[in-house]
Structure 1
Amino acid sequence: MLKNQRVVVSDGAMATELEKMGVQTDNELWSAMALITNPDAIRAVHEGYFMAGATIATTNTYQANLPALADFDVDQEAGLQLIHDAVKLADQARAGDDRLLIAGSVGPYGAYLADGSEYTGDYHLSKADYQAFHLPRIQALVAAGVDCLALETMPNFAEVQALLALLQRDFPTVRVWVSFSVGDTPANLCDGTPLREAAQYCDAQENVLAVGVNCTKMENILPAINEIHGVTDKAIIVYPNNGDRYDPTTKTWEKVTDAPQFSELVPQWLAAGARIIGGCCRTTPDDIATIKASVDQYLAG
């Protein structure tokens, strides 16, 4: 992924753009509902991010796990087909350009619970149960031809350990990035695990291509990079929210008018060691275009 590029720009939010197209995401499937109701809109979102300068499209499968789909009367065969379709929609958006990449999104078990625990990490399964929950989606993503997997917004270190063990066992040649969810203190994962410890663990995994954080406020990114930089030779990936505040209890966003701007912060993240930069919740193609311009200016300077 980084072989011929010093820095890679990833995409931004899926749900935000779908909502602009009138797609309902206010449900427990979140943006994955569009796989059922409006797949053309998903392809259009991917196209918009590629046009804005992203090199990576992240599949709309963060919440598309089989138990969540089953709650909406989607059986296993149909659910696996929807995951396969999500990859094909991203592939159609890149229109044969092999410089563009597809990352298969794998959200945490806490996202399936839909109770805010993806922001706390306060859930506990056995290693085998974590693996059983995630395996069908991972199998479908790999079979559909993703370029890598993205373990995203991961708040629970035990879950990540179980997933990396699963990948090493069953998919040893598949590359993956791990992006953690950090709390108000960016030095720790949401479950309290030191970010430095988690990053160091990922550094020892041969199939991990990048490690970082996502779905956090922009002010947390530089401290998080500084925690990671000293303990890994992997690429550092960061993709924060746009600055608005999320209330996991009411599942609503509060607009923040004085939030910092990507144009101000991206050069700092690059100087600190970030190699893959994108956006998470509430970010738009305009934000990705800003990131791309900031990266280009930094590299040219």
Structure 2
Amino acid sequence: MKSTLKQILDREGILVLDGSMGTALENLGADLNNKLWTARVLADRPELVKEVHIQYFRAGADAGITCSYQASLPGLMETGYSREQAEALITRAVQVFLDARQEWWDAEGKQAGRSWPLCLASAGPYGAYLADGSEYKGHYGVSADTLRDFHRRRAELLWQAGADVLLFETEPSLMEAEVEAQIAEELGAPYWISFSCCDGRHNCEGQLLADCARQLARNYPHLQAIGVNCTKPEYIASLIGELKGASDLPIIVYPNSGEEYDPQTKTWHGVGTDRRFGDYALDYMKAGAVAVGGCCTTVADHIRQVVAARRTYTGK
């Protein structure tokens, strides 16, 4: 069985993405204060990752993101895994998702008349491997060749493992996004690119998001969608406008809930925003986003709010 973004949009009007893997794992008792972050849980307690996926399907998600954001080959090998073990762990992220999807579908999803969820294979940026918050700064000071070496094999493994879409997410710079796009084009894989942004117009490296969208839409035919994630929710509506004015690509958004990230403790702090996440989600749909979900510090309740916002928006 296969699903596509277009099929889900034709049926549902808006695609609901899932929420944070990290916060949901912490709520299940996992300790994420280490360089591998959620990848350590994938290695040691994959049953918790599976449970998180199922929680989001039950909340109404039409697509889920694999637990591979921090699972890079160099990151895993530097912490003691062999190359063979590291490659197997990256592949595991997709398999755990596929198993969770099938289990939920057989138990609940099919009978409830739900859409078959998309498997979005997460590939975090080079900054995530650095584990110092660089995905919110960019300016790594490395070459495009270094970035290509970092991303190529993981993208290949995720695609070969059976993902529906490669999701290059939390990208702070156009250069890294283009390197990833080139890799996906060579693989012939459908892919989405999602930027981290520092305000209502710019990615975290300071480039205009509209310029990034124009460049990517013009040169990369397998790119299916473009968007923003792990960004303050109050910036998203403006950023949707920037994307909408720059290309015809479908727009995906999944912000965090407003807190500030501490790279030392790998935790989020602050009070976030006073607005309900569902109210923001409805604004994003009205602004032109076709896929909406949550990133860091969002959980199943936030996704239920997105589902409710979709009902309001579509009338279904």
Give the TM interval when normalised to the shorter protein.
over 0.9
Q: Distance in 2 between matches of 1:240 and 1:25?
A: 20
Is 1:279 the counterpart of 2:294? The answer is yes
In structure 2, what is the equivalent of residue 227 of structure 1?
242
Conserved in 2, the CA contact under 8 Å of 1:243 and 1:260?
no
Tell me, yes or no, if the aligned pair for 1:118 and 1:153 is still in contact at 8 Å: yes
SS at match of 1:160: helix
Counterpart in the other structure of 1:152: 169
Q: Secondary structure at the match of 2:6?
A: coil
Q: Where do 1:162-181 residues align within 5 Å?
A: 162-168=179-185, 170-172=186-188, 174-181=189-196
Q: Which of 29, 33, 41 is matched with 1:26 structurally? A: 33
Number of the residue aligned with 1:80: 87
Alpha-carbon contact 2:257-2:272 (below 8 Å) kept: no
Show the counterpart of 1:107: 124
**Alpha-carbon contact 1:121-1:191 (below 8 Å) kept:** yes
**1-side partners of 2:283 and 2:308: how far apart?**
14
| Matched letter for residue 178 of structure 1 | I
1:120-152 deviations in Å (ceiling 9; x for gaps): 002032222211111111111011000001000
**Paired AA for residue 57 in structure 2:** F
Alpha-carbon distance, 1:227 to partner: 0.7
Partner of 1:119: 136
* 8 Å CA contact 2:257, 2:297 repeated in 1: yes
Mapped pair 1:2 → 2:5: yes
How far does the alpha carbon of each residue in 1:168-201 deviate from its partner, in whole angstroms, 9 at most, with x for none? 2x212x1111000111x22111111110000112
Q: Determine helix, strand or coil for the equivalent of 1:274.
A: coil
State whether residues 218 and 260 of structure 1, in contact with CA within 8 Å, keep that contact through their aligned partners in structure 2.
no
CA-based RMSD of the aligned residues comes to: 1.5
Question: Shift of the alpha carbon at 1:202?
Answer: 2.0
Instruction: Specify every segment of 5 or more residues in structure 2 that has no aligned partner in the other structure, as ranges.
Output: 106-114
Deviation string for 1:86-121 (max 9, x for gaps)? Answer: 101101111174711101000000111112211100
AA partner of residue 200 (structure 1): R
Letter of the aligned partner of 2:259 in structure 1?
D
**Runs in 1 of length 4+ with deviation above 3 angstroms?**
247-252
Aligned amino acid, residue 146 of structure 1 = A
For residue 128 of structure 1, what is the amino acid of its counterpart?
D
Identity %: 39
Give the whole-Å Cα distance in 1 for the aligned partners of 2:205 and 2:159: 29
Mean CA deviation greater in 189-198 or 2-11:
2-11
Partner amino acid for 2:290? R
Matched residue of 2:52: which SS? Answer: helix
Task: Using structure 2 for the length normalisation, give the TM-score.
Answer: 0.91
1:141 aligned residue (158, 164, 179): 158
* Residue 7 (structure 1) shift: 1.1
**Mapped contact 2:14–2:310 kept (Cα < 8 A):** yes
Whether 1:48 and 2:55 are equivalent positions in the alignment is yes
Stretch moving more, 127-136 or 37-46: 127-136
How far off is 1:252 after superposition?
Answer: 3.4
Alpha-carbon deviation of 1:258?
4.6
Aligned residue pair count: 298
> Structure 2 CA distance, aligned partners of 1:189 and 1:296?
31
- Alignment match, 1:194: 208
**Alignment correspondent of 2:271:** 256
In the TM superposition, what is the alpha-carbon distance from 1:257 to its structure 2 partner? 6.1
Tell me which residue corresponds to 1:57: 64
Tell me if structure 1 keeps the 8 A contact 2:147–2:179: yes
Aligned to 2:109: none
Structure 2 residue 311 is the aligned partner of structure 1 residue 296: yes
Q: 1:258 to 1:158 in 2, by over 3 A?
A: closer
